[in-house]
Amino acid sequence: MKKIILTMSIAFVITQIIKAQVISAVPCDILGMSVNVGSYTNSISIYHSGQYMTHPRENNIFYWEYTDQQGNLLHQDTIVNDAFCNFSHNWSLTDTINVTVHLVNDSANLDGWYTNQGLPLNGNSINCLFEDQLFWSTGTSTPWGSWTFIHGNPGIDVTNINELQIDESKLKVYPSPSFNYLKLDGLKEDYCLQIFNIQGQLFHEMKNINGNQKIDVSFLPSGLYFINVNNNKVNQTIRFIKQ
């Protein structure tokens, strides 16, 4: 009898563990960034809640990018399995800094979350984009200050947006992430192709081309990019990641 009870107890614990593992992630708009204690005038530490709320954690990839108001790149990093982005800098305390981070985890999905909420499943992996701005905030009664986020924006699920665009336009861009070359299954008619970063800066352009293309992206810094394909019939933008 004791063995039966013990076996049932072990089975119950295993069942609970499996159930806990099913809910491997939460929606992008529940996640966010915060300035970590220890950030100072010449250093910054940003914490991202996605690391501890998206499983398996070892597959979390964060693409961080910091730019000034003119769009100049100040810092860029790709961080795996870590909630923090830490580095030293020489920013002016009067500057406003744009912060963008893209969280990707192809092994995690929201099926457990949707089931718990009684919603239909979509099977999407985690593709969350976060954008905000930092400024140096000083108190009225003290000379000390701290880096502070202005907006507190939640994340946006960019998977749904870009999958919809691909379905509508019948375009296919792969692989993503890409290292040296990006392949585009394009239109039969002539079209123009442009590659932008998340700040809207144009990095590459091809005009009056048609059919499938093999595009050299080895010169691009690591990060999130958008490829725009357009002619008189189609104007579609598709996301891809450069590693």
The alpha carbon torsion through 51, 52, 55, 57 (nearest 10 deg) reads 50
Q: At 38, phi and psi to the nearest 5?
A: 110, -15
Query: Mean pLDDT, the chain, as a whole number?
Result: 80
What is the C-alpha separation between 194 and 110, in angstroms, rounded? Answer: 32
Do domains 25-157 and 170-242 share one topology? The answer is: yes
151: confidence class by pLDDT, cuts 50, 70, 90:
confident
From the candidate CATH numbers 2.60.40.3080, 3.30.365.10, 3.90.105.10, 1.10.10.10, the one assigned to the domain spanning 170-242: 2.60.40.3080
- Sorted by where each begins, the domain ranges of the chain are 25-157, 170-242
Residue 164 φ then ψ, to 5°: -65, -40
Measured CA to CA in angstroms, residue 79 lies from 119, 200, 233 at distances of: 32, 23, 39
Number of H helices, E strands in the chain: 4, 16
Q: Which CATH architecture describes the domain 25-157?
A: Sandwich (2.60)
Confirm if 129 and 156 have CB atoms less than 8 A apart.
yes
pTM, to two decimals: 0.63
Give CA–CA dist 28/138, Å, rounded: 30
pLDDT in tens, 158-193: 775 544 343 444 577 888 778 888 888 877 788 899
By the 8 A CB rule, do 198 and 65 touch?
Answer: yes
pLDDT digits (tens, 9 = 90+) for 12-59: 443 444 444 456 889 998 999 999 887 889 999 999 999 999 999 999
Residues whose CB is less than 8 angstroms from the CB of residue 183 and which lie 6 or more positions away in sequence, other chains included = 173, 174, 175, 212, 213, 214, 215
- Structure-model confidence comparison of residues 221 and 195, the more confident one: 195
